[in-house]
Amino acid sequence: MAEEKVLWKPGNLIYPVPAVMVTVADGEGNSNILTIAWTGTVCTNPPMAYISVRPERYSYGMLKKTGEFVINLTTEALVRATDYCGVRSGRDTDKWKDTGLTPGKASVVSAPIIRESPVNIECRVTEIKELGSHHMFLAEVVAIDVDGQWLDEKGKFHLEKTKPIVYSHGEYYGLNGLLGTFGYSIRKKK
Ligand SMILES: Cc1cc2nc3c(=O)[nH]c(=O)nc-3n(C[C@H](O)[C@H](O)[C@H](O)COP(=O)(O)O)c2cc1C
């Protein structure tokens, strides 16, 4: 028989989630990277995403000023940098220099992309919701830059080969092996 459920106070336990590196710029030549776990897709068409950021973050001012940011997806090769950008502030240090990550020009927005990231999702803020500890930046995705090395000869993108990571209750994990594809639970066997 299953154990009894234990009642916990309300909190945040929707895990695993992505841990992405978000890049921002101030429009005066300064840019920064911060790690964000409170992020996700909110609409398919128009493509929209969100990030939730505490106002005390150094990046917050840049975000608010330009209304633009880039969500850079992370990988096993980038996990150390991902953690670092989430525990050091751009107020005190240059995280580009410290991590060795390379800023690149985005296609549409003024914030830079991280060249080492396999997917850069360029976003423009449409709405800011001051929810409480975090302010939610709702944004439209205005361009996506993918690293060509993960495209096969047919143009199919192999995200799995980039070795994406997830963040779960304080821990980073890689993904080990495919278990099914979208809708497989109701698909008729051939
Ligand atoms: C895995 C991870 C996830 C994080 N998620 C968020 C988040 O969703 N929102 C947020 O405001 N801070 C988040 N942080 C904390 C910021 O990344 C951290 O405070 C960072 O130093 C802010 O950088 P900045 O001061 O240069 O902007 C996260 C940190 C880590 C390590």
pLDDT tens digits for range 47-86: 999 999 999 999 999 999 999 999 999 999 999 999 999 9
Residue 59 and residue 24 in contact, taking contact as beta carbons nearer than 8 Å: yes
**What's the pLDDT score for residue 1?**
64
> Residue 174 Cα, ligand 1 centroid: separation in angstroms?
20
Residue 119 and residue 144 in contact, taking contact as beta carbons nearer than 8 Å: yes
> Residue 101 Cα, ligand 1 centroid: separation in angstroms?
17
Q: Within a 13 Å sphere around the CA of 128, how many CA atoms are in the beta-carbon half?
A: 17
> Residue 16 Cα, ligand 1 centroid: separation in angstroms?
16
CA–CA separation, 190 and 188 (whole Å) = 6
Pocket of ligand 1 contains residue 96 by CB under 6 Å: no
Q: Which CATH architecture has domain 20-174?
A: Roll (2.30)
Listed by start position, the domains of the chain span: 20-174
pTM of the predicted structure, to 2 decimals = 0.97
Pocket of ligand 1 contains residue 90 by CB under 6 Å: yes
Which residue is listed with tokens 């459920």? 5
Which residue is listed with tokens 């300064």? 30
Report angle CA 17, 56, 86 to the nearest 5 degrees.
40
Pocket of ligand 1 contains residue 80 by CB under 6 Å: no
Give pLDDT tens digits for 139-173: 999 999 999 999 999 999 999 999 999 999 999 99
Give pLDDT tens digits for 102-141: 999 999 999 999 999 999 999 999 999 999 999 999 999 9
**What's the pLDDT score for residue 178?**
84
> Residue 158 Cα, ligand 1 centroid: separation in angstroms?
28
